[in-house]
Amino acid sequence: MTLTWTTNFPGIKTCTIGSNPQTLTGLAGANVKAQRLQKFEEASAHAPEIIVSQHTGKIILKMPIRKQEDIYGAGLKFHSIRNENNVVHLKADHYGGKDNGRTHAPVPFHVSSFGYGLLIDSPEPVSYYIGTPHRRDEKIKPVAQDRNTDDNWQAFNEPAYIEIAINADAATLVLFESNTLLETVQKFNLYCGGGTLPPRWGLGFWYRTPLRFSAEEVNRLVQKFKDNKFPLDVIGLEPGWQSNSYPCTYEWDQTRFADAEGFVQSLLKQGVRINLWENPYVAEKAKLYPQLEDKSGSHMVWCGIVPDYSMPEVRQIIQKQHDEDHVKIGVSGYKLDESDGYDSWLWPDHAEFPSGISGAAIRNAYGLLFQRLTAEIFHGHDKRTYGLTRSTNAGGVGMPYVLYNDCYDFDEYTTALCSCGFIGALWCPEVRNAKTASEWLRRFQMAALSPMAMLNAWADATEPWYYEEVAEQVREAIHLRQKLMPYLYTAFARYHFDGIPPFRALVMDFGDFMNETAGRAELDGTANPYQISTRKEITDQYMMGESIMVVIIKPGQTERDVILPPGKWYNFHTGAYAGCGEVIRITVGEKDPMPLFVKDGAVIPLQNGDEIQTVTFGDTPKGFTLYEDDGTSFGYERGEYQFREIK
């Protein structure tokens, strides 16, 4: 079988196998950023030959992995950003402790360190076999090792091939070829519509209230934030604001919120926006129910119907109600919960939906469709929104949502933050609680250097000043984010206009300069019976915007090695020269801010009241191109913005 490719933009080709396959980008309603894509130079890197076959109802792709080539992407990951001898069966699900493809963002896009990427633009299940056992008929075979005699025996061979199995008889492929890994990611992001540009307030401080909070309790809490002089931009309401949760009515609970509009408007006047939690499953007692009942899937979730959100008329029914009851009275956005998993309460793959989409496909796209549904309401009002979603997929890069979950491992959150950069997603390392003041502070600081700075008190009723001994430092972390607003906002503009992720693993800017093994793997009959050793990778340092590198300090940590990629680096907090393409040891006071290092020549714009000040690093400042617009409307889509050079 031969693939027939159509070149759409420089270095971007598409190909359709079978007839009329659904696409993720289509379900997302993504608008290709065509003009920007036309501007890329011809690609110097090329994808390897892709061999295609079809059998047992599947499309099978096979392509070589070349010497020294690394593969990133293929879904959101929590343990490792690089795919090393990895098999992932992508499926929208709550992350269950393994990077096996069941994840909040099962994005079927892989990207190579050699400068190509491949999107399987299909909502159907896709499995990736990256560098795993080779085929018997291959010409170049890895050399068999012998555990008897070879002290370096390992379970894995040198990676030789990627195989991709698409569980469908039709699919669209999009191939990106460019010059670097980053450029490939940019093209992918722009093909999917360009990154989201949040309203300015969305980059402020978020607080989610405990379960079943009332209007009165929220008002008291807002006063507490004022008393504590703690920034507050968004209040998120958790289950309890609706007249029924699990499943949902989407209607205000009259006992807790007798005057919803008055409540929302009064907060707006104080500069605080309201974000509403919801899940996609509609309760029988909802006004919407009769209109949606026969437009829903065969199975129910928490006794709620599962609307077929792939049907435009279904989205319109919900949009109308949401607009009337929430958006028109001033609600700023949503937290879209429960679109991910688990298997035990979502519908089975064999569930049937009225549009004819398969149960497996709509599960992979459900978070995307739920985002689209809500985002369109705000777009209709020329008002930006920003919120949270438990799942997304390819095509969702322009959706004004960040991902979150129930896990809470510190390291996994930093890895997820880095991993998201490869797949057009954003991660919120939300703060919930902490066992120590040190953990509280380090979590706050990480959140303040992420796509969304949020304390989620839904189950713990924690408040920012929970640990008095670090309350000042927590406040400082959020103040730093406020100061960095012009810089951060510009980073998001670059995400939107150029496809550059605002938060990036170092490998994306600097390539892999860490090509070493994390020590010889020791035999351990229980913990490592196959003597698997993995290569080092950096996920506790990442780029934020153009020139700032964040270095994560873990709870209780007081010193660590910092890898300074090639080029000179300066300490953001002190301005001191730090090093150049080397590993340095730093010590960190237990209440110090997260270390930030800045590239040589960088000019960083800082907000100071209504003023923008700049701070420069190194001897020859290179200037900064500051992005500016009204911060709340979609005027930027109509050209109402500017990129301004500052020195």
Q: Which 140-159 positions form the footprint of a second copy (CB under 8 A)?
A: 141-148, 153, 155-157
CB of 531 to a second copy, least distance (A): 10
Question: Three-state SS for 114?
Answer: coil
390: nearest Cα among 457, 342, 351: 342
CB of 566 to a second copy, least distance (A): 33
**Using omega within 30 degrees of 0 as the cis cutoff, is the peptide bond preceding 641 cis?**
no
- H helices present in 31-72, as ranges: 34-38
Indicate the residue among 388 and 480 with the shorter CB distance to a second copy: 388
Question: Three-state SS for 636?
Answer: helix
In the window 280-299, what residues touch a second copy (CB under 8 A)? 283-284, 293, 296-299
- H helices present in 336-425, as ranges: 359-380, 410-420
The yes or no reply on residue 518 touching a second copy (CB under 8 A) is no
Binding mask 27-66 for a second copy (x = CB under 8 A): ----------------------------xxxx-x------
Total interface residues for a second copy by CB under 8 A: 84
CB of 80 to a second copy, least distance (A): 13
The yes or no reply on residue 11 touching a second copy (CB under 8 A) is no
503: nearest Cα among 409, 602, 428, 573: 428
Indicate if the alpha-carbon torsion angle 403, 404, 408, 410 is positive or negative: positive
Among 262, 529, 575, 623, binds a second copy (CB under 8 A): 529
Listed ranges 80-88, 107-115, 390-398, 507-515: which one lies at the site for a second copy (CB under 8 A): 80-88
389: nearest Cα among 24, 78, 105, 98: 105
The yes or no reply on residue 22 touching a second copy (CB under 8 A) is no
Distance CA 494, CA 444 (A): 25
Report the run of H or E that residue 543 belongs to, with start and end.
strand 541-544
Can you state the angle between helices 410-420 and 437-448, rounded to 10 degrees? 10
Task: Confirm if 184 and 190 have CB atoms less than 8 A apart.
Answer: no
The yes or no reply on residue 344 touching a second copy (CB under 8 A) is yes
CB of 131 to a second copy, least distance (A): 9
Listed ranges 22-30, 226-234, 466-474, 519-527: which one lies at the site for a second copy (CB under 8 A): 519-527
Among 14, 186, 358, 364, binds a second copy (CB under 8 A): 358
The yes or no reply on residue 456 touching a second copy (CB under 8 A) is yes
Task: Confirm if 160 and 84 have CB atoms less than 8 A apart.
Answer: no
In the window 618-647, what residues touch a second copy (CB under 8 A)? none
**Using omega within 30 degrees of 0 as the cis cutoff, is the peptide bond preceding 247 cis?**
yes
Binding mask 201-220 for a second copy (x = CB under 8 A): ----------xx--------
In the window 379-438, what residues touch a second copy (CB under 8 A)? 406-408, 432-433
Q: What is the dihedral of CA 427, 431, 432, 434, to 10 degrees?
A: 130
Binding mask 95-114 for a second copy (x = CB under 8 A): -xxx-x--------------
Indicate the residue among 2 and 344 with the shorter CB distance to a second copy: 344
CB of 436 to a second copy, least distance (A): 16
The yes or no reply on residue 239 touching a second copy (CB under 8 A) is yes
In the window 536-595, what residues touch a second copy (CB under 8 A)? none
Pairing type for strands 86-92 and 71-73 reads unpaired
Indicate the residue among 370 and 569 with the shorter CB distance to a second copy: 370
Among 191, 347, 569, 636, binds a second copy (CB under 8 A): 347
Burial of 324 (0-12, 13-18, 19+ CB in 10 A): exposed
CB of 459 to a second copy, least distance (A): 3
CB of 248 to a second copy, least distance (A): 10
Indicate the residue among 283 and 484 with the shorter CB distance to a second copy: 283
Among 67, 136, 435, 585, binds a second copy (CB under 8 A): 136
Listed ranges 108-116, 311-319, 518-526, 636-644: which one lies at the site for a second copy (CB under 8 A): 518-526
Distance CA 376, CA 388 (A): 15
CB of 526 to a second copy, least distance (A): 4
- H helices present in 8-111, as ranges: 24-28, 34-38
Distance CA 571, CA 425 (A): 29
Length of the chain: 647
Binding mask 172-191 for a second copy (x = CB under 8 A): --------------------
The yes or no reply on residue 535 touching a second copy (CB under 8 A) is no
Listed ranges 12-20, 137-145, 440-448, 577-585: which one lies at the site for a second copy (CB under 8 A): 137-145
Among 226, 258, 259, 303, binds a second copy (CB under 8 A): 303
CB of 223 to a second copy, least distance (A): 24
The yes or no reply on residue 524 touching a second copy (CB under 8 A) is yes
396: nearest Cα among 343, 350, 325, 339: 339
Task: Confirm if 159 and 62 have CB atoms less than 8 A apart.
Answer: no
CB of 512 to a second copy, least distance (A): 21
Indicate the residue among 407 and 580 with the shorter CB distance to a second copy: 407
Indicate the residue among 353 and 386 with the shorter CB distance to a second copy: 353
The yes or no reply on residue 87 touching a second copy (CB under 8 A) is yes
Among 244, 291, 533, 571, binds a second copy (CB under 8 A): 244
Distance CA 209, CA 232 (A): 12
Report the run of H or E that residue 519 belongs to, with start and end.
none
In the window 488-517, what residues touch a second copy (CB under 8 A)? none
Sheet holding 273-278, edge to edge: 401-403, 387-389, 333-336, 273-278, 234-237, 205-208, 453-456
Indicate the residue among 283 and 549 with the shorter CB distance to a second copy: 283
Q: What is the dihedral of CA 613, 619, 622, 624, to 10 degrees?
A: -20
Q: Bridge-partner residues for 509, per DSSP?
A: none
494: nearest Cα among 222, 186, 247: 186
Distance CA 450, CA 459 (A): 22
